Each structure stands twice: as C-alpha cells, then as structure tokens.
C-alpha cells in the first residue's frame, strides 16, 4: 500500500527519537530520514524501523524518563512548539514583502509630498501581485505542513553542529591526554 505524508512524518519522528536515545548515529539518522521522505509504500517505511525497538509509553516503561520534551508532531495547531515554528515560517515568508512594500510606499509618499499633489498610487503594482502569490504560498504551506518540515530541518542542522562540536572536543581531549613521547635514545642527536 502507498504511504501518506503523515506516515512518513511518523517514521521521521520515530527516527528522531532513536537518534536522541543514541540508537542511531547522526549519519545513519540522516540516511534513514532521507529514505523515509522518499518512501512510497508502507514496506519501504517498515524497513527503516525493523532494527529499532518499539516505542513504549513513559507510564508503562521500566525506565524513568530523563526529561519530558514537548513535541509538536501529532498534535493539533495548538501543540507546544507548533506555534513558534509556524510564526517563524510566516515571518520568513512575509517579512521581505512587508519591507519592500514599506520602502515603495515611502518613496511614493515622499514624491507625492515633494510634488505637492497626490500622485498615482503605483506601489499597488508591487504589493498586489506579490501579495497574492504570498497568500497562495502561505495557504499551501500551512496546509502542507511546511513550518513543521522547516523546524525539523533546522533541528537536524543543530544536531549535526552539536555532534561535530562533540567530535572536535573528543579529538582535542584525546590529543591532550596522549603523553608526549620521549625521544628515542637510539637516534643520534645533532649538536
């Protein structure tokens, strides 16, 4: 059977949990995540989770949860974190438009003041078509889950950076832990 976007997002969330639990390394997580979003059938999605244990609710788990982290997936539009990612996405989409419209309206207002008469409101030709395109993009993006996708991608980049920093720290620590090698007494010294 063909998989839906919601199925792919569920698998992606399970992979993120496995990464946070330390069951997957960052490279394997990234590889599986790409395969999850490219998957067309349930079979392709199931293969990505076969070696991972099933998720046990915290209430029934024998292990105490380290910390509760609010996750926006699976919730409605009021889920924790969802509002923040939606607001951020809307700002990224609309702020350039608002800045440009403010600039062209200011130019129109200044030229109207300097000419001492009200000029033709030409900024409508900038604001109108661009605004209509943004309205369509906003509606399509919100219904398609674009804010969540971008938030996941941002989090994935943050995790990669963290992992890279950790690897650098480990390498530095390993280098500083190595004692300096004494010179080999068999090698001749230069005077």
Q: Are residues 84 and 135 in the same domain?
A: yes
Domain that holds residue 84: 78-175
Q: How many domains does the chain have?
A: 2
Q: Are residues 99 and 159 in the same domain?
A: yes
Structural Rg of the chain based on CA atoms: 27
pLDDT of residue 178: 62
Q: Using one digit for the tens of pLDDT, what is the confidence trace for 81-96?
A: 567 788 888 888 899 9
Q: Are residues 94 and 167 in the same domain?
A: yes
State mean pLDDT over 144-161.
87
Evaluate whether residue 37 is within a structural domain: yes
Q: Are residues 8 and 91 in the same domain?
A: no
Which residue, among 81, 93, 82, 96, has the nearest Cα to 145 in the 3D structure?
Answer: 82
Q: Residue 150 has what DSSP assignment?
A: H
pLDDT of residue 4: 87
């Amino acid at each position: 059977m063909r998989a839906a976007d919601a199925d792919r997002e569920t698998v992606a969330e399970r992979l993120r949990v496995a990464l946070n639990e330390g069951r997957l390394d960052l490279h394997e997580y990234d590889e599986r995540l790409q395969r999850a979003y490219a998957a067309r059938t349930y079979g392709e999605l199931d293969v990505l989770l076969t070696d991972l244990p099933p998720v046990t609710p915290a209430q029934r788990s024998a292990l105490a949860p380290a910390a509760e982290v609010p996750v926006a997936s699976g919730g409605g539009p009021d889920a924790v974190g969802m509002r923040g990612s939606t607001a951020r996405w809307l700002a990224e989409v609309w702020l350039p438009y608002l800045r440009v419209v403010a600039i062209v309206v200011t130019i129109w207002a200044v030229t109207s003041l300097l000419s001492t008469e009200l000029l033709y409101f030409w900024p409508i030709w900038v604001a109108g078509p661009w605004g209509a395109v943004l309205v369509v993009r906003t509606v399509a993006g919100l219904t398609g889950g674009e804010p969540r996708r971008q938030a996941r991608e941002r989090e994935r980049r943050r995790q990669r950076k963290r992992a890279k920093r950790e690897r650098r720290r480990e390498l530095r620590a390993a280098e500083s832990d190595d004692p300096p090698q004494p010179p080999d007494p068999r090698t001749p010294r230069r005077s």
